[in-house]
A = this chain, B = another copy of it.
Amino acid sequence: LGKSAKSRIRRLGFQRERALVQSLWKLGFACVRGPASGSKTRRVIYPDIVAMKEGTILVIEVKTSDRRKPIYIERRQVERLKEFARRAGGIPLIGVSFADGTGWKFVRVEDLVKTRGGNYKVDDEVLAKSLSLRDLARIADKSHKLDEYLSS
């Protein structure tokens, strides 16, 4: 890919991420977006999006899929995502944005398939087990109700 095609893809990804934050906000989440990849603050572990609702924390790393081939994710990136979620007490997720504009799917880190090289991939089988935006809201509402139940 040429430089301008790459920057166009990056811009598109950025716009989709912003749209996701707006959707999550409408579902009642408070969201924070990490700085763009490659920026200096990236030295610290930093997920793409953190979405919080009444104490439930979703830690999201964003990837784009063209639906033709699996998404490969470096082991180190998955480990960082898990470490951030472990500290926060949150749920680590891979947010998959489809290049054809058909919305988002969210893959639980434990559902990722390990490759022979020790990295991870998201294929059709993994996507079949993924969560929708509505599922994320339900998870947050459920843990909230659980808290209320436990403290009453």
- A residues near B, CB below 8 A? 18, 21-22, 25, 28-35, 41, 44-47, 50, 52-57, 59, 84-85, 87-90, 144, 150-151
Knowing A30-B84, A35-B35, A45-B30, the reply to whether A89 touches B150 (Cβ < 8 A) is no
A62 CB → nearest B CB, Å: 14
A52:B21 contact, CB within 8 angstroms: no
Cα distance A50–B150 in the bound complex, in angstroms: 26
Query: Which A-B residue pairs are the 5 nearest by beta carbons?
Result: A55-B89, A52-B88, A30-B87, A54-B89, A30-B88
Cα distance A33–B34 in the bound complex, in angstroms: 7
A55: chain B residues at CB < 8 Å are 55, 57, 88-90
Counting every copy of the chain, the complex holds: 2
Cβ-neighbour of A87 out of B28, B46, B89 (below 8 A): B28
A59: chain B residues at CB < 8 Å are 30
**Can you list 24 A-B pairs, Cβ within 8 angstroms, ordered by A?**
A21-B44, A29-B87, A29-B88, A30-B84, A30-B85, A30-B87, A30-B88, A30-B90, A33-B41, A35-B35, A50-B50, A52-B52, A52-B57, A52-B87, A53-B87, A53-B88, A54-B87, A54-B89, A55-B55, A55-B88, A56-B89, A57-B57, A89-B144, A150-B150
A41: chain B residues at CB < 8 Å are 18, 33
Cα distance A28–B84 in the bound complex, in angstroms: 10
A53: chain B residues at CB < 8 Å are 87-89
Most B Cβ at <10 Å: residue of A21, A34, A87? A87
